[in-house]
């Protein structure tokens, strides 16, 4: 069998006295989709941000593709250049989009290929236009982010990340900041990426989406992996009581239950 695309073992992270990740291990096969679910504050974002080293772990090992890092006492932290090169191979999509407001949609997508990869403007432009077509936003290339809907912004953010032609895409609650009617268009793009064989790690509250698109689901609670398995098994027949309790907050449709609709 091929070795996994992402391998993490014994990952620890503390913020001050607060232990946020406590010995997390996980692996992601090339071309597969892993969804991370769990209550707010359980460390999902921190784990995701450790995978591209936006957060530096205190201990443990991370390997993405050929790049491996060990963290802990006595180990040297990677320098800024190594970090930048490493991150350029992983794409990340944020809950609040974080588009560059002073650049057009096209400028946002062209920025990293030109600045980091030193592609020519023409080449970057061609790539950016192709990616905007892929996310269904060819007609918005010259708009500025402020004039887009949330769903459009997030699709631009996905195109921007894809422009670096990453091996791995990380999504941190990509649809949580969106109006309900705009969630579908972003999930649609993510699903398309998954079927094209992109390796993806998705933090999400869209349980139905995780069940449909993810190969494996990880349930996190208090900084540990409380349950892990094939998506259908974890979501339809969770073994752990904590997972059962968490999933009981969601409708069968996968939407988070609100106070009004709760029984």
Which residues of the shown chain bind ligand ADP in the complex (CB under 6 A)? 15, 20, 38, 40-46
Residue 154 Cβ vs another protein, minimum distance, rounded to whole Å: 13
Q: Which two tokens stand for residue 51?
A: 């995978």
Q: In terms of CB distance, is 45 or 243 closer to ligand ADP?
A: 45
Point out which residues bind another protein (CB under 8 A).
52, 54, 80-81, 83-92, 94, 96, 98-102, 111-112, 115-116, 160-161, 164
Q: In terms of CB distance, is 99 or 225 closer to another protein?
A: 99
Q: In terms of CB distance, is 161 or 217 closer to another protein?
A: 161
Q: Give the distance, in angstroms, between the CA of residue 26 and the centroid of all CA atoms in the same chain.
A: 15
Q: What are phi and psi of 203, to 5 degrees?
A: -90, 125
Residue written as token pair 């032609």: 165
# chain residues binding Mg ion, by CB under 5 A: 1
Residue 183 Cβ vs another protein, minimum distance, rounded to whole Å: 20
Q: Which two tokens stand for residue 124?
A: 């970057």
Scan residues 25-54 and list those touching Mg ion (CB under 5 A): 45
Taking the C-alpha atoms of residue 21 and residue 13, their distance in angstroms, rounded to an integer, is 5
Q: At what angle do helices 150-162 and 180-195 cross, to 10 degrees?
A: 20
Q: Of the candidates 248, 215, 244, 220, which has an alpha carbon nearest to the alpha carbon of residue 232?
A: 215
Taking the C-alpha atoms of residue 105 and residue 146, their distance in angstroms, rounded to an integer, is 10
Residue 126 Cβ vs ligand ADP, minimum distance, rounded to whole Å: 36
Residue 47 Cβ vs another protein, minimum distance, rounded to whole Å: 15
């Amino acid at each position: 069998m091929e070795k996994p695309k992402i391998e993490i073992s014994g990952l620890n992270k503390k913020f001050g006295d607060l232990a946020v990740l406590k010995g997390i291990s996980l692996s992601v096969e090339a071309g597969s989709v892993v969804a991370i679910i769990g209550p707010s504050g359980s460390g999902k974002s921190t784990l995701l941000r450790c995978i591209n080293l936006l957060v530096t772990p205190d201990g443990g090992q991370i390997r993405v593709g050929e790049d491996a890092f060990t963290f802990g006492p006595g180990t040297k932290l990677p320098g800024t250049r190594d970090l930048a090169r490493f991150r350029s191979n992983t794409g990340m999509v944020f809950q609040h989009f974080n588009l560059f407001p002073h650049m057009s949609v096209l400028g946002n997508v062209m920025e990293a290929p030109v600045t980091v990869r030193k592609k020519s403007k023409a080449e970057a432009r061609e790539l950016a236009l192709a990616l905007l077509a892929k996310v269904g936003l060819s007609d918005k290339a010259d708009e500025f982010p402020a004039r887009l809907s949330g769903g459009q912004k997030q699709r631009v953010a996905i195109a921007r990340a894809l422009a670096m032609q990453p091996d791995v895409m990380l999504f941190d609650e990509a649809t949580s900041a969106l109006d309900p009617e705009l969630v579908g268009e972003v999930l649609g793009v993510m699903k398309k990426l998954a079927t094209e064989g992109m390796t993806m790690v998705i933090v999400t509250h869209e349980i139905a989406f995780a069940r449909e698109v993810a190969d494996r689901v990880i349930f996190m609670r208090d900084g540990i992996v409380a349950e892990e398995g094939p998506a259908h098994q974890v979501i339809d027949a969770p073994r752990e009581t904590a997972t059962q309790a968490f999933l009981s907050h969601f409708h069968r449709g996968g939407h988070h239950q609100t106070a009004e609709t709760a029984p």
